[in-house]
Amino acid sequence: MAIYLKIALRNIWRNKGRSLITLSAIVFGYISIVVAGGFIEDVFYQMRESYIHSFLGHIQVSKKGFYEKGASRPFEFMIDHPRRMMERILNLPHVRSVTPRLEFAGLLSNGENTISFMGQGVDPEGEKRVSSFLTIEDGRSLEPGDRYAVILGRGLAKAMGVRPGDPLIILTNTVDGAINGMDVEVKGVFYTSSKAFDDRTLRMPIETAQKLLQTEKVQTLVILLDDTRNTDLVLHQLRSWFRQEDLPLEARPWYNMADFYNKTVTLFNRQFFVLKLIIAIIVVLSIFNTMNMAVLERIGEIGTIRALGTKRRGVVMLFLAEGVIMGLIGGVAGAIAGYGSARLISYFGIPMPPPPGATIEWVATIRVVPEVFLFAFSLSLITALISSVYPAYKASRLKISEALRHNV
């Protein structure tokens, strides 16, 4: 075996020019996959973190049935004793914060205009961590201790024609169905990456919302973890806990709620697959061509080593070794070049238009994802192997007497 490796290596070296072209193809394929894959990963990452931190959190806990039927009867599915639940959840490993939410719909009036809105009763302190993509553009955010205060989405504030300091009147149904009204003061105006959200959302301290709705309960507890990768771990802990204590609660991970994210991932992955396929074909064809030429110009040598007693298997190994070494060198060179390209492109950044339904432009980078590198590396190796199989087989099947005649 060692002798075949030695001969294969020297033959690669013997045809430096051609080997270099083949290696370039592998490196080019590698870079394409690493850059495209790293870019897609970054889009996924930024989108996912944006969703999680702007409002989803990593996991949301609510009363069983809230997600299916909560939209039409929001007050029938509320969590009792939210404070006690929050304390217990906070004690779980990987949990960084838990914050309550109470959502309701209502009408907003400034005396002239009346507009419907989506209200969120939130804990200003806890919400800071799951609303980091919510940016205040005017006034200030909600602060702990605020009462009868609201902040409005950019679109909603514009529609109402209000600025921080202006008064507003809120009308809504209490949990019992009675009508309640309240005077509030606009503290700030915010925007997020979602225009639809900014057009109809307002936020107020959860105590104020509870007073308005005349309840002690909340609808959801939004859990933020130390790392998105721990979502499933904590999710399972929560679910088995609810099951064991027979609590009428359910836990949902962010990815079950981020519909647009999931669709984007599917679409991008499909496009990425096509790209990978195209690159694999380019690499296969280029190595195939090289190996075929190598066999053709070495027919005489094949005849010689066969005459000397090399078995067909040996000839196959000789050419497979050549292909695999090529794939290996290409893989290593590609990894280095891919890493370099990823860092270089990331250094400058790729300006991106706002995603659908959002307002903020952002800058994508190329993530250095070990999985993508591993994939590209195995791809160069496997394609090198696959594309050497036929030429190697062909070489091993040459008629010795005819092959020998090629020695001149």
Partner 1 sequence: MPRIVEAQGLYKIFHLGKTQVEALVDITFHVEKGEFLALVGPSGSGKSTLLNLIGCIEPPTRGTIHLDGIDITNLDDNSLSTIRAERIGFVFQNFNLLPVLTAYENIEYPLHIRGMPKREREERVKALLDAVGLARFANHRPAELSGGQRQRVAIARALAGSPSIVLADEPTANLDHATGREVLKLMKGLNRTYGTTFIFSTHDPQIMSFADRVVELRDGRIAS
Q: Which residues bind partner 1 (CB under 8 A)?
A: 2-3, 6-7, 10-11, 13-14, 300-301, 303-312, 314, 399-401, 404, 407-408
- Specify the residue, 11 or 210, whose C-beta has the smaller distance to partner 1: 11
The CB-of-404 to partner 1 minimum distance in angstroms stands at 7
β-bridge mates for residue 109, sequence order: 114, 169
- Specify the residue, 124 or 323, whose C-beta has the smaller distance to partner 1: 323
The CB-of-11 to partner 1 minimum distance in angstroms stands at 6
The CB-of-300 to partner 1 minimum distance in angstroms stands at 7
Contacts 24+ apart (CB under 8 A), 64-70: 64/248, 64/249, 64/250, 65/250, 66/219, 66/220, 66/250, 67/250, 67/252, 70/219
d(CA 170, CA 184): 7
- Specify the residue, 15 or 180, whose C-beta has the smaller distance to partner 1: 15
The CB-of-394 to partner 1 minimum distance in angstroms stands at 15
- Specify the residue, 5 or 350, whose C-beta has the smaller distance to partner 1: 5
- Specify the residue, 13 or 348, whose C-beta has the smaller distance to partner 1: 13
Rg, C-alpha atoms of the chain: 32
Q: Are 18 and 286 in contact (CB under 8 A)?
A: no
| CB count in 10 Å sphere of residue 26 | 29
The token duo for 150 is 């609201």
The CB-of-8 to partner 1 minimum distance in angstroms stands at 9
Q: Are 78 and 63 in contact (CB under 8 A)?
A: yes
Q: Residues, the chain, total?
A: 408
The CB-of-25 to partner 1 minimum distance in angstroms stands at 23
- Specify the residue, 250 or 322, whose C-beta has the smaller distance to partner 1: 322
- Closest by CA to 98, choosing from 110, 112, 88, 108, is 88
Q: Are 201 and 103 in contact (CB under 8 A)?
A: no
Contacts with 300 (C-beta within 8 Å, 6 or more apart), sequence order: 403, 404, 405, 406, 407, 408
Backbone φ and ψ of 232, nearest 5°: -65, -35
- Specify the residue, 14 or 140, whose C-beta has the smaller distance to partner 1: 14
The CB-of-18 to partner 1 minimum distance in angstroms stands at 15
- Specify the residue, 132 or 310, whose C-beta has the smaller distance to partner 1: 310
The CB-of-330 to partner 1 minimum distance in angstroms stands at 21
The token duo for 272 is 């990425």
Q: Are 125 and 98 in contact (CB under 8 A)?
A: no
